[in-house]
Structure 1
Amino acid sequence: MKRIVVFFGGCSSEHSVSLQSAHAVLTYMDRSRYSPVPVGITREGRWLYYTGDLDAIPDGRWQDGPCIPCTLCLDRASRTLLLLDGSGDTLCFDAAFPVLHGKNGEDGTLQGLLELAGVPVIGCGVLSSALCMDKDRSHKLAALAGVKVPRSAKFPRGTNADELQQTAQSLGYPLFVKPVRAGSSFGVSMVRAPEELAEAARSAFANDRELLLEESIPGFEVGCAVLGNESLTVGAVDEIELSQGFFDFEEKYTLKTSAIHCPARIPAEKTAEIQQAAQTIYRALDCKGFARVDLFLTPEGSIIFNEVNTIPGFTAHSRYPNMMRAAGLDFTALISRIIETEVTA
C-alpha cells in the first residue's frame, strides 16, 4: 500500500478553502490502495503531522488535536518526514499530494522543495505551477499556442496614476484590475469608471508587486477539467451564470447571486472546441496530473483564455470533481486516477 502525504492549510489567504478540499480528498481516498499521511501547514508556516479525526480539519480544530511537528528530509529520494517531537522517529512515504490553494502552495514553491528532495509530486510541477499563477506569462504562452487571450497591460508597483489611467482609457471601461500572481480572485476588481481605478490598483498591489489591467470580455465563463500526463481525459464543460458583478471570492464559495451549470448550456460542437482549447493550454503551460482551465465564451462564439487553476477546489461539490463526475468518474475513482498519474500501484 502506498503512503501519500497530503499537504493542506498553508500560509496563504486561501488557508480555510484548502482545509475543505483536503478533508474531502482524505475522506474519499481509497484506503484499500493508499494510506494517507495528513500534514497540515499552519498560517504561520509550521508543519504538523496530524493523526486525529478528519472531521476536525475543515473548521481548523485539527491544530488542537494530536499533532507532531515535522519537516521534510532533504536527502534526495529518501522520501521521509522527520518527526520533531524529540523521539528521532521518521515516517517514510511514497509521494506527496499538495492540496494547497494560492501562494506558497499552488505557485510552485512547495513543489520545488519536494522536487529538490526527490519526492514524486502529484499534480503540476514547479514550472507549470509558477506559470499558471502568473496571469501575464500564462496568457502570453497561451497566445503563442494559438488560443485567444484578453488585451491587457502589466505594471509594477510604483507606477504613476496617470500611466495607469492612460492605459485604462485605451483598453476601455469596464475593465479588470488584477494582481499578476494571486488566487481565488483576491485583489481583483471590476472597474467601471476612471475614479475607481486608484482604489482597485491599491487592492491589487496589496496582493502582488505587479498588476494587470485587462479588458472585460463579454459573454460568460466556462471551465474544463483536465486529467493526465501524456494521455489526457477531459471532463464536461461547465458554465458560470452571473446575475451581477463577477465571479469573485465570495461568489466562488457561496454562489449567492450566481449558478454553475454542468454540463454547460451550449451546443455540442462548442463544448468540443472548449475541451480542445483547454487541452492546448494545459500542454502549453506544461501541466501534468490535473488542472482546471477557465475560459470565456463570447456572444459571437469566440473562446478566450482566462486562467488555469493547478490545484482547483476539491470538495465533493467543487467544479473540478463535478465536471469529472459528469464525464463518468466518481470522486473516489477521480482521486485514484489523479494519484496514478504519478504513483504506480
Structure 2
Amino acid sequence: MSQAPSQAPRPRVVVVFGGASSEHPVSCLTAASVLKAIDRDRYDVDCVGITEGGRWTRIDPLWAARMATTAGRLPTVPDDGVGAVLVQDDERTLLCSVTEDGFADVVAVDVAFSLLHGPFGEDGTIQGQFEMVGLRYVGSGVAASAIGMDKHLMKVALAAAGLPQGDYRVIRPEQWVRDQAAALASLDGLSYPLFVKPARAGSSIGITRVTSPDELPAAIEGARKHDPKVVVEAGIVGAREIECAVLGGRGFDTPRASLVGEIRMHTEEAFYDFDAKYLPEEQVSLDIPADVDDDLQRRVQDLAVATFEAMGAEGLGRVDTFVLPDGQVLVNEINTMPGFTELSMFPALWNETGMSYPDLVDELLTLALQRPVGLR
C-alpha cells in the first residue's frame, strides 16, 4: 500500500512592526492590516513587535491583527512582552524567545516582512540585520533603503540619474549650530511657500509649510526635533500631486507600475501631513484612479519605474510626483516602505489596477522568497 506524498512545509513569515521611531503607531496599524490579509493556508506567521524603546518582543499574531485606532488613540507595542531575537544557525535563521533560562519557542523562519517606518526600520538598518542572519525579506536592500529614507541623498541620486525634480536646499547639523544666519541665507532664491522637512523621517512628520522668512527658524527647529539634518524644498504653486505604486518584476522582469492616484487638499494652504494621512476626518481627498489622460498617466508611470530602478529598489515602492501646470512631471520622492493601512495609497492603487490586498501581500512575499540571500 503506497503512502500519500508528504506535504511540503509552508514558508514561515515573521512580521516585524512598531519600532523606535515617531512612526511607531503607523507601523502597528500597517501590521494589523497585513496580518489580516496573509493567507494562513499558505504561510505560517510569527510576529516581532519592537517597543518604542527599541526592545524586541514576541507578539501573538492574532492579538496584533486586532490593533486599531481606539477613541482617537493610535496603537503601540506593549512594553511587557517576552523578549525576541533572530539568530543564524548553519543555513537557517531562527526566531527565539529570550527568557531567564535562555532561548525558548525556537522556530526557523524563511522570510521577514518588516513593516517598520522611519529610522531604524525603513532606513537600511534592519535590512542589514536580516542580511547578517541570512534571512530573505520583503522590500529594498540596505543601500536603496538608506538612500530612499534620506531626502537629501535621494535627491542627489535622482539628479545623478538625470531625473527631474524641484529646487531645494539642505541645512546640515553643523551649519545650523555654527551660523544660523548663514544657513538661513542659503535658502535665498527658493520660491515660497517653502516646505521644511526632517531629512530622514516619513509620514510627513515634522514638516512645516512656511510662507515668509520670519517663520523659518521655528520651522527648522521643529524639523530638527526629528532629524538634525533638514531639507527645505521650494513650493510648486498649482502642481498636482500624483502618485504611482511600483512592484518589482519577477526574476529579471521590468518593474510594474500601477494606475496613478491623486491627492487633493480641500484648502490651498493645507498639505498632506500626518493627520491627513491617518485621520480620515481631515480635509483631503484621494482620487483613485486620478483623473488624467492616457499620456500623462504613461509619463508618470514611466518616471516612477525609472525612479525605482535608479534607486536600486526591490519589491515595492511608491513614487510621488508633481505635475506642473504646463504638464511637466517632477519626482518628489520615493518611499521604499509605503504604508499598508486601509487609508494608504499603495494598496489602493494596486487594488484599482486589479491586484487585491491579499494578493498584493502574497506577491510581495513571493518576490522576497524568490530572491537570493547575500549580494545580488
Give TM class, smaller chain.
over 0.9
Q: Percent identity over the alignment?
A: 34
Q: How far did 1:250 drift?
A: 1.1
Q: How far did 1:58 drift?
A: 3.2
Residue equivalent to 1:342: 368
Q: How far did 1:55 drift?
A: 4.2
Residue equivalent to 1:224: 244
Q: How far did 1:64 drift?
A: 7.9
Structure 1 residues 282 and 226: CA distance shift in structure 2, 3 A? same
Residue equivalent to 2:5: none
- Which stretch of the first structure deviates more once superposed, 185-194 or 137-146? 137-146
Output one character per residue of 1:298-340: Cα deviation in whole Å (capped at 9) or x when no partner. Answer: 1111111111111111023421010000110001111111111
Q: Which amino acid aligns with 2:192?
A: Y
State TM-score, norm by structure 2.
0.87
Match of 2:67 among 57, 62, 66: 57
- Which stretch of the first structure deviates more once superposed, 199-208 or 157-166? 157-166
Structure 1 residues 104 and 62: CA distance shift in structure 2, 3 A? closer
Q: Which amino acid aligns with 2:103?
A: G
Distance in structure 2 (CA, Å) of the matches to 1:19 and 1:177: 27
| Cα pair 2:19 2:49 within 8 Å, conserved | yes
Output one character per residue of 1:185-240: Cα deviation in whole Å (capped at 9) or x when no partner. Answer: 12211110011011011012221121112111231211111011432221110000
| Cα pair 2:261 2:287 within 8 Å, conserved | yes
1:106-145 equivalences in 2 (<5 Å): 106-145=122-161
| Cα pair 1:139 1:305 within 8 Å, conserved | no
Q: Which amino acid aligns with 1:120?
A: R
| Residue 247, structure 1, aligned to residue 272, structure 2 | yes
Gaps of 5+ in 2: 1-9, 70-74, 372-376
Distance in structure 2 (CA, Å) of the matches to 1:149 and 1:88: 50
Output one character per residue of 1:121-179: Cα deviation in whole Å (capped at 9) or x when no partner. Answer: 11111111101011111112212223211111112124223223323331122111111
State the SS of the aligned residue for 2:369.
coil
Structure 1 residues 44 and 62: CA distance shift in structure 2, 3 A? closer
Distance in structure 1 (CA, Å) of the matches to 2:181 and 2:102: 61
Output one character per residue of 1:92-127: Cα deviation in whole Å (capped at 9) or x when no partner. Answer: 110111011111111111111111111111111111
Residue equivalent to 2:318: 292
Gaps of 5+ in 1: none
Distance in structure 1 (CA, Å) of the matches to 2:306 and 2:63: 41
State TM-score, norm by structure 1.
0.94
Residue equivalent to 1:304: 330
Q: How far did 1:279 drift?
A: 0.3
Residue equivalent to 1:88: 103
Residue equivalent to 1:152: 168
| Cα pair 2:93 2:135 within 8 Å, conserved | yes
State the SS of the aligned residue for 2:137.
coil
Distance in structure 2 (CA, Å) of the matches to 1:209 and 1:20: 27
User: Which is higher, the Rg of structure 1 or of structure 2?
Assistant: 2
Distance in structure 2 (CA, Å) of the matches to 1:104 and 1:61: 16
CA RMSD in angstroms comes to 1.9
| Residue 271, structure 1, aligned to residue 297, structure 2 | yes
Report the number of matched residues: 344
State the SS of the aligned residue for 2:27.
helix
Output one character per residue of 1:25-77: Cα deviation in whole Å (capped at 9) or x when no partner. Answer: 11110112111111111111111111253444335476389x43211114564
1:13-52 equivalences in 2 (<5 Å): 13-51=22-60, 52=62
Structure 1 residues 138 and 76: CA distance shift in structure 2, 3 A? farther
| Cα pair 1:76 1:117 within 8 Å, conserved | no
Structure 1 residues 199 and 119: CA distance shift in structure 2, 3 A? same
Residue equivalent to 1:238: 261
Match of 1:205 among 220, 224, 227: 224
State the SS of the aligned residue for 2:186.
helix
Residue equivalent to 1:183: 202
Distance in structure 1 (CA, Å) of the matches to 2:332 and 2:368: 27
| Cα pair 2:24 2:116 within 8 Å, conserved | yes
| Cα pair 1:175 1:190 within 8 Å, conserved | yes
Distance in structure 2 (CA, Å) of the matches to 1:192 and 1:317: 29
| Cα pair 1:83 1:91 within 8 Å, conserved | no
